[in-house]
Amino acid sequence: MNNYALIPEWVSISTLAMLALAILLALFRLMKGPTLPDRIVALDLIAALCMCFAIAYAISSSEVRYLDIAAIVALVAFIGTVAYATYLKKKYL
Amino acid sequence: MILISAFMLGGGLFSLLAAVGVIRFPDVYTRMHAATKAPAFGILLLQTAAALYFASLYAIAISLMVVVFIFLTAPVASHSISRVAHLLNIPKWSGMVMDEMDDDLDIADPQKDAKT
């Protein structure tokens, strides 16, 4: 059943490690960010990195269905970012 | 196999570069430059790796859908945030060379004349 091409284990592990480090750095900016748009940018980046993580995990565990996570997060993150921007504009202008 | 591994590592590297850029850049606008383009390219690389790895119609279709959607919506989202940041007078980097939106601020914010 599982006849996918084998990729080396260190490739998937190092990709997941890089993505986890990237999410940690983005969380640091989310906590530190001096202004509110900084935090929104960090949230947008975290959503994109979660999509990357889901895709990389789908490859490393040979499970096609995990690719759906990336599609759903892409839809929700766009709506969320535009909603944050509209909220800021309505509140402060 | 080597191609899939190279695409995976490239996607992870671009995402890491985006996070490093968000940490290191000096103000909102340059951070947005890092946070929008590099993850879009990382997602493109990772979805290509997934499509090559699974090689089924389902995986290829959903990869194409996600890539097209990301490349359509990432500029729209970053544009709306940067426009709001400019309207809120978020401080800019001291080494900034030009700001073309300053001249057009009356067009960008129609309520400005009414308030002042």
**Strand blocks (E) in A1-93:** none
Helix, strand or coil, per DSSP, at residue B7: helix
What is the ipTM metric for this complex? 0.88
User: Which pLDDT score, from 0 to 100, does residue A79 have?
Assistant: 93
If you count them, how many residues does chain A have? 93
User: Which pLDDT score, from 0 to 100, does residue A34 have?
Assistant: 85
Phi and psi for B104 in degrees, rounded to 5? -100, 20
Which residue from B18, B59, B70 is facing A45, i.e. has the nearest CB? B18
Place of tokens 């089924």: B56
Place of tokens 């979805």: B47
**Which residue positions in chain B have pLDDT lower than 50?**
113, 115-116
DSSP state of A62: T
How many folded domains does chain B comprise? Answer: 1
- Its domain, for residue B26, covers 2-115
pTM of the predicted structure, to 2 decimals: 0.86
A30-52 average pLDDT score: 90
List all residues of chain A from 44 to 73 with a beta carbon under 8 Å from chain B.
44-45, 48-49, 51-52, 55-56, 58-59, 64, 67-68, 70-71
Pair of tokens at residue B108: 């960008």
